Amino acid sequence: MTSVHKGFFSSPVRLVVGVACALVVAVAVPIAVFVVEGSKVLTSVFSRVEIQAATRAGSSLGPGDESRTIVQEYVAREHASGHSILSDDVNIAVVRSKDGKTTVRLVWSGSRNPTGLLVVSRGEASRLALAVGLTAITPTGLPATPLQAPINRQAYGGAAAEGGLGIVRSDCIDAWITTQGVPMKTSSCAELWHGPQTPEWMYHHFGQGNEPRPTEQSVITAMSIRSRIVKDQRADVAGPKFVSSCSNTGQTSVLAGLVKNGQDTYNPAIHMRSNPCTGYLDFINQSEWQTGAGLRSTERNDASIETTGVYSVDKPDLSPAWEDYVWTQVGCRNGDSTLHCRFGSLDESSYIKRLW
């Protein structure tokens, strides 16, 4: 992996987690906090190295550890989607800022790993503007063999396959954030689709953000996601040829290339549900092999967004590696004229380069 953040590893690293004891608790790793006193902005950056150092197996958490409930919820969500995992398969990393105001619990399973985290807050208490940026990587080398169990993540948008396509990988990363007593959760999920009769790979990335305890003043105000081929593999990859976008009809279809099966010729497709297009923006950068989208001017207690790209790879038996990015922001409702709300918005463009 080409570094996207100073201090990151330069190649994909699989986190290997051992189970030490049933009573071992998740250890919080402190990191630097940068404070801009004039505007009361607190920015905490967690590198891949720091996340790795704080990683434990979900099964190592003792009965009194509050992170255990988060792991149990993660496992239950995966079971509900048809992805059979155990707490032994779950990784959790707990990281905190040095001033103790921000705590993040990252939970994930599978070979797709978090690579960086950024938390920005502005204001105080119920007037707090809070934003989270999360990056992840889906590593290269996955075999083109569909999963045995079906995956149905309709809670996030979901997808259904026809024409011989199968899910090669389906993994989620959840980030639970609490800062100054304000909770927020954001998720980044990715599905990799392939079939023995198709030359293309389809990468479906979707994210969700919500407030576990929403207030009258505090709502999700913005969200965006991005995915791209890692830089050192782009010479072997063509695409994305198609970028899914929001559909007012409630469904978006992504078509792969023509496939012949005996006398029949057809286009394999993935169909995804999507919400009405209000505030939806397509992001695509062909020079970086990137898909993406954003939601703007939204005021909801939860939000989800998804994109899909179709890629052709010179090495048909192996997938390339994808880098992912999710940004979720919580703030005050429009029309609130209080001091903290008027100065509480956060500009994603000011922070994205720290991770992406």
Q: Is the pLDDT of residue 69 over 60?
A: yes
Burial state string for 252-273 with b = 16 or more CB within 10 A and e = fewer than 16: bebbbeebeeeeeeeebbbebb
| Average pLDDT for 211-223 | 67
Contact 183, 177 (CB under 8 A): yes
State pTM to two decimals: 0.81
**pLDDT digits 0-9 by tens, 14-56:** 223 222 222 333 445 444 433 333 457 889 999 999 999 999 9
pLDDT score recorded for residue 60: 92
pLDDT digits (tens, 9 = 90+) for 253-277: 777 777 766 677 777 777 766 555 6
Say if residue 336's pLDDT is above 70.
no
Nearest-angstrom CA–CA distance, 54 and 246? 37
The tokens describing 109, both together, are: 């399973």
pLDDT digits (tens, 9 = 90+) for 90-128: 999 999 987 788 899 999 998 899 999 999 988 766 667
* pLDDT for res 21: 29
Asked if the model's pLDDT at residue 216 lies above 80, the reply is no
Model pLDDT, residue 344: 58
Per-residue model confidence (pLDDT) at position 29: 47
Please report, in angstroms and rounded to a whole number, the separation of the first and last CA atoms in the chain.
13
- Residue whose entry in the numeric block shows the structure tokens 């007012």: 248
Reference 229, options 288, 189, 171; nearest CA is: 288
Higher per-residue confidence, 129 vs 28: 129
Higher-confidence residue: 255 or 251?
Answer: 255
* Token pair for 199: 């030359």
Report the share of the chain in percent with pLDDT over 90: 26
Per-residue pLDDT tens over the stretch 318-331: 788 999 999 998 87
Mean of pLDDT over the chain: 76
The pLDDT of residue 8 is above 50 = no
* Cross-strand pairs, 206: 189, 306
Cα radius of gyration (the chain)? 20
Least confident window among 154-163, 224-233, 258-267, 332-341? 332-341
Mean pLDDT of 338-346: 59
Question: Rounded CA gap, 309 and 140, in Å?
Answer: 16
